[in-house]
Amino acid sequence: MNALRTTRTLVASATAVVLALGSASLAHGAVPADHSDDDQITIGIKFDQPGIGLKTPDGTYTGFDVDVATYIAKQLGHEPDQIVWKEAKSADRETMLQRGDVDFIAASYSINDERAEKVDFAGPYLLAHQDVLIRADDDSIKQPSDLNDKKLCSVTGSTSAQNVKEKIAPDAQLQEYGGYSECLTGLENGVIDALTTDDSILAGYAAQDEFKGKFKLGGFEMSNENYGIGVQKGSELKGKINTALEKMVADGSWDAAVEKNFGPANYQNEPAPKIGVIVEND
């Protein structure tokens, strides 16, 4: 009898633990996109770019892409708590859209011909340029040609890194790292003179509390990056998202989002781009 009771207690507590774990994982874990529930929308963003798309330690999401995506979702009829955020790493973006893992992607996604063959783009919603981030007290870099005898840093394989090698400063030394934070360490202790990538990303880093006042943007417009919202090829979402973006610019939310995310870095943003107008590189 006693043994039986012990067993029962064990079973009961085990069930309780399983239930608790189950609900815990539902609350915190990455819940896969559930398309049977029409109220939910799954959006791909960057999780690691301050100012653009960042997952904070407490599990909230901040950044310009996040604000734009939230606004679009709202226009499509989804409240912020119905959004499921998914990490869209650069290399995975086309595949995620093609497989339908996400409804749309807003992840510093530059529109180009190769990508446009695979997915459709709404927007563009931001015109960024390749720029450099330099130490605040560095006066030796005034124009892009000054970069040729400098030490530059960017992310391994990124478009910005390739631009440096091929066009901007072929004679410069280029250090490539897996992430921007390694470059920032080098920039801080003087091994590296300039971190180069899209000005929007740089502004996001410079605006972080721990870097405030240490770095400044060069203000060079070395390329044109038209950030678009990626959707599945032929998706009807493209038109709806374009309407939402137009409304976002018209009612001032777009300016507010730019100011909120890039403001502290003294970032001179371009005016909101016209939908469907791509600014080509020369």
Partner 1 sequence: MFDFLEGYDLLGAFWVTVQLTFWSALGSLVWGTLLAAMRVGPVPLMRAFGTAYVTVVRNIPLTVIIVFTSLGLFQTLGISLGADRFTTINFRLAVLGLTAYTSAFVCEALRSGINTVPLGQVEAARAIGLSFPQILRIIVLPQAFRSVVGPLTNVLIALTKNTTVAAAIGVAEAALLMREMIENEAQLILVSAVFAFGFICLTLPTGLLLGRLAKKVAVKR
Residue 122 near residue 273, CB atoms below 8 Å: no
Q: Which stretch binds partner 1 (CB under 8 A): 7-15, 29-37, 178-186, 274-282?
A: 178-186
**Paired tokens of 259:** 């100011």
Which residue in 175, 243, 253, 281 binds partner 1 (CB under 8 A)?
Answer: 175
What lies within 8 Å, CB to CB, of 276 at 6+ separation is 242
> Taking contact as CB under 8 A, which single stretch among the options 19-27, 55-63, 109-117, 138-146 is the one that binds partner 1?
109-117
236 binds partner 1 (CB under 8 A): no
**CB of 221: closest distance to partner 1 in angstroms?**
21
Nearer CB in complex with partner 1: 62/162: 162
In the chain the first and final C-alpha atoms are separated, in Å, by: 85
Q: Specify the stretch interacting with partner 1 by CB under 8 A; choose among 16-24, 45-53, 80-88, 185-193.
A: 185-193
Supply the DSSP string of 82-151, one letter for each residue: GEEEEE--GGGHHHHHHHTSSSEE-SS-B--HHHHHHSEEEEEEEEE-EEEEEETT--S--SGGGGGGSE
The answer, yes or no, to whether the previous bond of 124 is cis (omega within 30 of 0) is yes
DSSP three-state, residue 41: strand
Q: How many residues bind partner 1 (CB under 8 A)?
A: 27
Kindly tell me the burial class for residue 118, based on how many C-beta atoms sit within 10 Å of its own C-beta (0-12, 13-18, 19 or more).
middle
Q: Report DSSP state, residue 264.
A: G
Contacts 24+ apart (CB under 8 A), 162-171: 163/130, 163/222, 163/223, 164/196, 168/130, 168/144, 168/196, 168/222, 169/144, 169/145
Query: CB of 176: closest distance to partner 1 in angstroms?
Result: 3
Q: What is the DSSP letter of 23?
A: H
Burial degree of 236 (CB within 10 A; 0-12, 13-18, 19+): exposed
Q: Which is nearer to partner 1, 74 or 118 (CB)?
A: 118
> Which of 177, 205, 227, 267 forms a contact with partner 1 (CB under 8 A)?
177
- Out of 81, 117, 137, 209, which residue is the one contacting partner 1 (CB under 8 A)? 117
How far apart are the C-alpha atoms of 202 and 189, rounded to whole Å?
A: 18
Note whether 280 binds partner 1 by CB under 8 A: no
For partner 1, the binding residue among 82, 159, 253, 281 (CB under 8 A) is: 159
Residue in the block written with tokens 């280029």: 174
Establish if 214 lies at the interface with partner 1 (CB under 8 A): no
- Closer to partner 1 by Cβ: residue 9 or 185: 185
118 binds partner 1, rule: CB under 8 A = yes
Applying CB under 8 A, does 148 fall inside the site for partner 1? Answer: no
Binding of partner 1 at residue 82 (CB under 8 A)? Answer: no
Q: Which is nearer to partner 1, 195 or 207 (CB)?
A: 195
- For partner 1, the binding residue among 25, 95, 140, 145 (CB under 8 A) is 95
Pick the binder of partner 1 from 62, 82, 90, 243 (CB under 8 A). Answer: 90
- Given the complex with partner 1, which of 97 and 106 has the nearer CB atom? 97
Beta strand pairing status for 48-49 and 53-55? antiparallel
> Which residues contact partner 1 (rule: CB under 8 A)?
90-92, 94-95, 114-115, 117-118, 151, 156-159, 161-162, 173-178, 182, 185-186, 189, 191
